[in-house]
């Protein structure tokens, strides 16, 4: 098998420059972050992390006075302005080729050109370029996308993402000429990128198998894979040697290898050496012979099938069809610390096991089921990482700064900040819990995996929020959870969205503070009063019509009924009697006693229990009129009245005399009627108040 390694494989000038600048910045010390991954290669990024260079996604995350490295892709001018305003030192590692595009786009935009970028609109390089024309550029990754552009008035300026293939760039230019009468084209494809792509095409044309080494996140690596796939059907994209499929040297005459601009030299060297080693093995022994020999007997490191035939507290016994039975120590059966053979093992089950040692010195075959689970789980976890799909696991350990989640034997570290959407004070509360997480970082070689439960919760909450806003309507009822309390009300989560229950909508009775009725975490039933989808505001009510004291009051209280109540308030025109919580009736002053009294306080006091007759029930007006005198008239004691009269000041006696003279001017038959009318007016005003 002939192996051809591309001369242009590996770091380009821009990547080399960025890594050199990062190394020089490390020497200076202090807090250092890169705005996004420095390059699209997890191995390099993880190495930088271990050396003390962190990663932030927004400039706003950086503390004032610290240092930020701008990666080779470059950024929009707003990043530089914000950094200057917040006293953040910028270490600019932008690729010189990309810097040139920034200056070009800025000038052409100022000269009145419509900027068109041939590239991936989601790639950081393209996002940065677009910022230099006020984010006004038209962007197309393919000629088909350019065909969807509306006709462009005026003149256009076309530039390319540095890793764009020349074929696509030329195709976009042809489509743009149909949309715009005047097009100025600047070929900003990196010369190193163009050379790399041309060499990859030449090697792919003559190879039986083509290996493209690099990260799937890397734009130039993906484009190399796209080019090679056109000319070699068996083209594989892999980040490291471990990602490659099995290759049979007997079936391959020529093997080509190229690599993206972000692929370290050591990774390329490892792939080349492994392929060369495979080449040497092929000369010593054919694959067919190796397969035949492996079937002769059990070998250490093999995975074989077996059947469980028994167990005790420390071991599980497995029939392998071999002269000796296999033994699995309990700690090698599963990673679950709570596992018990009595409940977790079924005799007769067929399982796959890993052969640790064919002969342990006593003729037994030592096995491990956990290793098989881990090997397969690694594939599941890696697939979940690539596809961004969630996985389930059990929290088996609390560490400094987070927890360890076992995903079928694969240990995944979940930092404390990624456990929940809110701060977790006691990480121990998650121990032994089954959780759903997303794999957010992965290093296959070092078997390091980082997960996030918060990402899963956030996605679920966003989905729930969409459901709420798509189905919400006034009057709809929800069962929600009290999230927080304020002086003016309670915020209730109705399924991913918080609504406000104002204190006035918590009860039909007067409530001074929400804490009188609910506490955080309580489940409550609420009704939507109104909502504003644009402002994301929802007003809720906890009131229920059937809890309103005035609800169907006319069915419970009827005219002529004798009721008991408590005097709760005295006013000049009468007294309010509480019949039940939140329900008061009014006894007009004329209905207290058969004898005329000056004021209700002469015969009644707050807190006094009384009996009264219902003389009117007006459910619509929320009014109940009562009469005490028709049940048990309360008359003032004459002596007490005389004593009070004697104690009056001369001025008061004079006013009273004048009042009586005025009274005498009113005919007796109209006095009570006039008094009742005035009292009713005052009563109505008081109720409105």
Task: Examine the fold and report which residue of 373, 400, 435 is the final residue of a domain before the chain moves on.
Answer: 373
Residue 132 placed within a domain: yes
Question: Given 125, 199, 239, 505, which residue is catalytic?
Answer: 125
Mean pLDDT for 431-435 is 91
Domain tally, the chain: 6
Residues 682 and 562 in one domain: yes
Residue 128 placed within a domain: yes
Residue 274 placed within a domain: no
Helix, strand, coil percent content, the chain, rounded in steps of 5: 40, 30, 35
Q: Give 458-527 as a 3 state SS string.
A: HHHHHHHHHHHHHHCCCCCEEEEEEEEEECCEEEEECCCCEEEEEHHHCCCCCCCCHHHCCCCCCEEEEE
Residue with more model confidence, 112 or 545: 112
| Residue 356 token pair | 């640790």
Residue 117 placed within a domain: yes
Residues 564 and 682 in one domain: yes
pLDDT in tens, 294-327: 433 677 888 888 888 888 888 899 888 777 788 9
- Relative to beta strand 523-532, strand 477-486 is antiparallel
Task: Report whether 134 contacts 109 (CB < 8 A).
Answer: yes
Task: Report whether 137 contacts 117 (CB < 8 A).
Answer: yes
Which of 124-128, 247-251, 353-357, 652-656 shows the highest mean pLDDT? 124-128
pLDDT of 543 reads 87
Residue with tokens 């001017």: 665
Burial class for 352, CB neighbours closer than 10 Å (0-12, 13-18, 19+): middle
pLDDT of 291 reads 41
Measured CA to CA, the distance from residue 233 to residue 688 in angstroms comes to: 86
| CB within 8 Å of 414: residues ≥ 6 apart | 402, 403, 404, 405, 435, 437, 450, 451, 452, 453
| Residue 310 token pair | 């028994």
Residues 320 and 351 in one domain: yes
pLDDT of 495 reads 82
Mean pLDDT for 227-235 is 92
Per-residue confidence at 572, pLDDT binned at 50, 70, 90?
Answer: very high
Q: What is the mean pLDDT of the chain?
A: 83
pLDDT in tens, 487-538: 999 999 888 888 999 998 888 888 889 998 899 989 999 999 999 888 889 9
Rounded to two decimals, the pTM is 0.38
Catalytic residue list contains 84:
no
Helix (H, G, I), strand (E, B) or coil at 128: helix
Q: Is the pLDDT of residue 145 over 90?
A: yes
Task: Report whether 624 contacts 553 (CB < 8 A).
Answer: yes
Task: Examine the fold and report which residue of 321, 344, 373 is the final residue of a domain before the chain moves on.
Answer: 373
Closest residue by Cα to residue 630 from 614, 616, 618: 614
Residues 129 and 90 in one domain: no
| CB within 8 Å of 409: residues ≥ 6 apart | 334, 335, 370, 371, 373, 374, 377
Q: Is the pLDDT of residue 221 over 50?
A: yes
Q: What is the CATH number of the domain that holds 476?
A: 2.40.50.140
pLDDT of 489 reads 92
Mean pLDDT for 382-406 is 90
pLDDT of 653 reads 47
Residues 447 and 413 in one domain: yes
Residues 427-442 as b or e (16 or more Cβ within 10 Å = b): beebeeeebebbbbbb
pLDDT of 5 reads 87
Residue with tokens 């080494």: 213
pLDDT in tens, 245-303: 788 777 888 999 998 888 888 888 888 888 877 776 655 444 445 444 443 367 788 88
Residues 588 and 601 in one domain: yes
Q: Is the pLDDT of residue 671 over 60?
A: no
Q: Which of 121-135, 185-199, 255-269, 641-655 is the least confident region? A: 641-655
Mean pLDDT for 442-449 is 82
Residue 135 placed within a domain: yes
* Residue 591 lies in domain: 557-617+631-688
pLDDT of 639 reads 35
């Amino acid at each position: 098998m002939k192996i051809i390694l591309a001369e242009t494989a590996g770091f380009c000038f821009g990547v080399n420059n960025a890594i050199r600048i990062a190394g020089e910045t490390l020497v200076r010390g202090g807090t250092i972050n890169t705005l996004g991954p420095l390059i699209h290669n997890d191995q390099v990024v993880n190495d930088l992390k271990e050396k003390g260079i962190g990663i932030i996604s927004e400039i706003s995350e950086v503390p004032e006075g610290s240092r930020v490295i701008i990666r080779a892709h470059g950024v929009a001018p707003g990043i530089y302005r914000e950094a200057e305003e917040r006293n953040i030192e910028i270490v600019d590692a932008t690729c010189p080729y990309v810097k040139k595009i920034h200056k070009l786009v800025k000038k052409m935009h100022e000269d009145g050109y419509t900027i068109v970028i041939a590239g991936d609109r989601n790639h950081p390089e393209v996002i940065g370029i677009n910022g230099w024309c006020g984010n006004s550029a038209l962007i197309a990754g393919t000629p088909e996308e350019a065909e969807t552009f509306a006709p462009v008035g005026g003149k256009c300026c076309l530039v390319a993402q540095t890793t764009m293939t020349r074929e696509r760039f030329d195709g976009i230019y042809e489509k743009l000429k149909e949309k715009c009468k005047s097009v100025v084209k600047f070929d900003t494809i990196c010369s190193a990128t163009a050379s790399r792509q041309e060499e990859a095409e030449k090697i792919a044309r003559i190879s039986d198998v083509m290996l493209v080494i690099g990260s799937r996140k890397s734009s130039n690596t993906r484009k190399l894979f796209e080019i090679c796939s056109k000319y070699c059907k068996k083209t594989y994209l892999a980040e490291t040697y471990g990602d490659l499929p099995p290759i049979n040297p007997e079936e391959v005459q020529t093997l080509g290898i190229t690599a993206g601009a972000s692929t370290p030299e050591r990774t390329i060297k490892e792939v080349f050496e492994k392929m060369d080693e495979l080449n040497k093995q092929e000369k010593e022994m054919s694959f067919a012979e190796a397969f035949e020999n492996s079937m002769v007997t059990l070998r250490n490191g093999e995975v074989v099938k077996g059947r469980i035939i028994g167990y005790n507290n420390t071991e599980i016994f497995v029939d392998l069809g071999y002269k000796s039975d296999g033994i699995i120590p309990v700690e090698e059966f599963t990673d679950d610390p709570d596992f018990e053979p009595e409940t977790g093992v079924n005799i007769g089950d067929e399982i796959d096991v890993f052969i640790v040692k064919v002969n342990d010195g006593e003729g037994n075959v030592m096995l491990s089921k956990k290793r098989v689970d881990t090997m397969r789980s690694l594939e599941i976890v890696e697939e979940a990482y690539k596809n961004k799909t969630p996985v389930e696991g059990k929290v088996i350990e609390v560490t400094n700064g987070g927890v360890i989640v076992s995903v079928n034997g694969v240990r995944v570290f979940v930092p404390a900040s990624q456990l929940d959407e809110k701060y977790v004070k006691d990480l121990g509360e998650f121990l032994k819990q089954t959780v759903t997480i997303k794999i957010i970082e992965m290093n296959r070689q070092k078997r390091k995996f980082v997960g996030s439960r918060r990402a899963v919760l956030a996605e679920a909450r966003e989905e729930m929020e969409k459901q709420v806003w798509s189905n919400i309507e006034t009057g709809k009822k929800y069962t929600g959870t009290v999230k927080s309390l304020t002086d003016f009300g309670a915020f209730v989560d109705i399924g991913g969205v918080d609504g406000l229950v104002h204190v006035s909508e918590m009860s039909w009775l007067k409530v001074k503070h929400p804490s009188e009725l609910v506490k955080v975490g309580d489940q409550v039933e609420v009704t939507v009063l109104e909502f504003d989808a644009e402002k994301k505001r929802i007003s809720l009510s906890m009131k229920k019509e059937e809890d309103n004291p005035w609800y169907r009051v006319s069915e419970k209280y009827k005219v002529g009924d004798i009721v008991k109540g408590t005097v709760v308030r005295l006013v000049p025109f009468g007294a309010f009697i509480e019949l039940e919580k939140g329900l008061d009736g009014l006894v007009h002053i004329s209905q207290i006693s058969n004898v005329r009294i000056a004021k209700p306080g002469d015969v009644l006091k707050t807190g006094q229990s009384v009996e009264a007759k219902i003389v009117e029930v007006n459910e619509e007006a929320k009014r109940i009129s009562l009469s005490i005198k028709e049940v048990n008239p309360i008359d003032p004691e004459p002596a007490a009245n005389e004593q009070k009269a004697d104690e009056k000041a001369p001025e008061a006696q004079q006013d009273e005399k004048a009042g009586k003279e005025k009274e005498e001017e009113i005919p007796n038959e109209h006095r009570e009627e006039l008094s009742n009318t005035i009292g009713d007016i005052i009563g109505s005003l008081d109720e409105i108040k």
